[in-house]
Chains A and B, each alone.
Chain A
Amino acid sequence: MSAARAVRPVSVASFAQAQNVRRDDQRNEVEGLLPVIAEAFGAIGITKDDVDFICSGSTDYLVGGPFSFVMALDAVGVWPPRSESHVEMDGAWALYEAWVLLQEGKVDAALVYSFGRSSLGDLNEILTLQLDPYTMAPLWPDIVSLNALQARALIDAGKATEADFAAVASRSRRDALANPKAQVAGDIPVETLLEDEYVVAPLRRHALPPITDGAAAIVLAAGDKATRWSERPAWITGFDHRIETHALGARDLTASPSTAKAGEVAGVAAGPVDLAEIHAPFAHQELIVREALGLDGTVTVNPSGGALAANPIMSAGLIRIGEAASRIAAGQADRAVAHATSGPCLQQNLVCVLEGA
């Protein structure tokens, strides 16, 4: 295994996600998580008693109620008392925390999950609350507008065109036709997409992610468990995340130095990359991340359809890792890169390198 630094081999042993839908009206967070966690355990024939650590990612702002992550533990069953943690981040960062714990070598398996129902409130208001509360949030800029500023900066810098954004959307939703969990899929040519109305110019409807209710779970394993639970383990060989300033106007929005640095530390360039699952909720972001990771045209990007096919907030990053690992486990790829992002306009980025045997 090639890696930028010595790591204890940890594999993504199992992955499950909920059916991604515009609104799951029938179930609360716990009821939505239950079958996902059951599927992740069931696929490798284990129970909650086989994992030593539980870590979740979610945000209470989505549901408008406090400590939803505590109630979500009802979906696991934490008796006898369990070792557990939570991050107010996408589940990809929860996975990072679990991976770090597994690096210590004291435990061999962890359950990581994330959940969120974006349909309950207004994301254009809720996501404003992640911004600087003194100089940005009081004006209530919405997430679509901020991404439109980033897309405009890319166009003005000569790095991309609206047709490039449409090409990302067209390919993503065409690939999503093969993803049974996708929310938005279809074979629509670029020329047709370019007839879409602007939501916030220069972003047209197709360049935006859907609003999604969803959940996802991953089981991480090391040691004997990793080889026992997987015929072809998807080993994590490099893992890092980096953040930039929250001050949007102090960043070059046309580049992602935090992705580049995380990719460097994770060792993306240490070997050939077969496929990449990039967490780019807005079409233009994929172009920035590809450049930052140095991925050329030979790399298959987002065969799942990516976040343009389903964007369950707090889970869409974790799902990228699960999708990449699933393709390694299935023998469809030998070396993959998974990326997750958080914050406005790619402020914070996580890169995970996965390899087959």
Chain B
Amino acid sequence: MADSEVLHAAHHIEYPYSRSLGPVLSAFMTGLRDGRLLGVTASGGRIVCPPSEYDPDTGDDVGELVEVGPGGVVESWAWVSTPLRKHPLDRPFAWALIRLDGADTALLHAVDAGSPGAVATGDRVVPRFRPAGERVGSLADIEAFVPEGGAV
């Protein structure tokens, strides 16, 4: 059978999931809507952010939620010169693992740094929250992080 005889069809699927959060992630998302970031106390007093319902290493129960950040340190970064259609920003940006002040693990988010020369491991960044009325309780309530003291 020649190539032209094998058919093609555009196939579009959607999964309109709505996920229930449970106490830990509910608190985290509620915090985001309120414009603050929360971590959770895990084994050995370690603060895990983003928080999980259990210690990511041991599986033990976690303790109290504590406020972290809002600023933090870039632990690693990757420069996206051509954003993809679902990326959080439509201009060049950096993905970064950000260890928020007071936390012992890192959060993944976008850094709106303008150019690859404006971001480096060890740099301090702060979140740029969306206006309060637009926030719904999601990591997308933070539009992006920006370099501390030199917001783009």
Q: A residues bordering B, Cβ < 8 Å?
A: 25-26, 64, 120, 124-125, 128, 133-136, 138-142, 145-146, 148-153, 156, 198, 200-203, 245, 247-250, 253
Contact = CB atoms under 8 A, between A and B. Distances in A.
Interface in B1-30: 1, 3, 6, 11, 13, 17, 19, 21, 25, 28-29
Contacts of A150: 76
Interface in B45-76: 48, 50, 52, 56-57, 75-76
Q: Which of B1, B6, B13, B84 has the most CB of A within 10 A?
A: B84
A148 B93 CA distance: 13
B84 A201 contact: no
Interface of B: 1, 3, 6, 11, 13, 17, 19, 21, 25, 28-29, 48, 50, 52, 56-57, 75-81, 84, 86-88, 95-99, 105-110, 116, 121, 138-140
B97 A200 contact: no
A347 B31 CA distance: 29
A152 B57 contact: no
A151 B107 CA distance: 17
B9 to A, nearest CB: 11
B123 to A, nearest CB: 12
B79 A139 contact: no
Given A64-B11, A134-B21, A249 B106 contact: yes
A140 B87 CA distance: 6
Contact of A25 (B6, B78, B79): B6
Greatest chain A CB density within 10 A among B3, B21, B75, B98 is at B75
Q: Which of A26, A202, A245 has the most CB of B within 10 A?
A: A245
B86 A26 contact: no
Contacts of A152: 76-78, 121
B78 A26 contact: no
Given A120-B11, A134-B19, 5 more contacts: A128-B86, A135-B139, A198-B81, A200-B95, A250-B48
A26 B108 contact: no
A201 B81 contact: yes
A64 B77 contact: no
A245 B95 contact: no
B116 A201 contact: yes
Contacts of A151: 78
The CB with the most chain B CB atoms within 10 A, among A64, A136, A139, A245, is that of A139
Listed residue (A148, A152, A200, A248) with the most chain B CB atoms within 10 angstroms of its CB: A152
Contacts of A142: 84, 87
Contacts of A248: 97, 106, 108
Contacts of A136: 108
Given A135-B107, A136-B108, A139-B110, A200 B78 contact: yes
Contact of A149 (B48, B76, B139): B76
A202 B78 contact: yes
Given A64-B13, A135-B107, A140 B86 contact: yes
A141 B21 contact: no
B13 A250 contact: no
A352 B80 CA distance: 36
Given A125-B86, A138-B138, A139-B139, A247 B105 contact: yes
Contacts of B78: 145-146, 148-149, 151-152, 200-203
Contact of B140 (A138, A149, A250): A138
A212 B48 CA distance: 37
Contacts of A138: 138-140
Contacts of A148: 78-79, 95
Contacts of B139: 135, 138-139
Nearest to B80: A200
A25 B3 contact: yes
A80 B99 CA distance: 57
A265 B6 CA distance: 48
A149 B107 contact: no
B138 A140 contact: no
Report which residue of B21, B77, B109 has the largest number of chain A beta carbons within 10 angstroms of its beta carbon: B77
B99 A140 contact: no
A18 to B, nearest CB: 17
A156 B116 contact: no
Given A135-B107, A140-B87, A247-B50, A145 B56 contact: no
A68 to B, nearest CB: 13
A203 B78 CA distance: 9
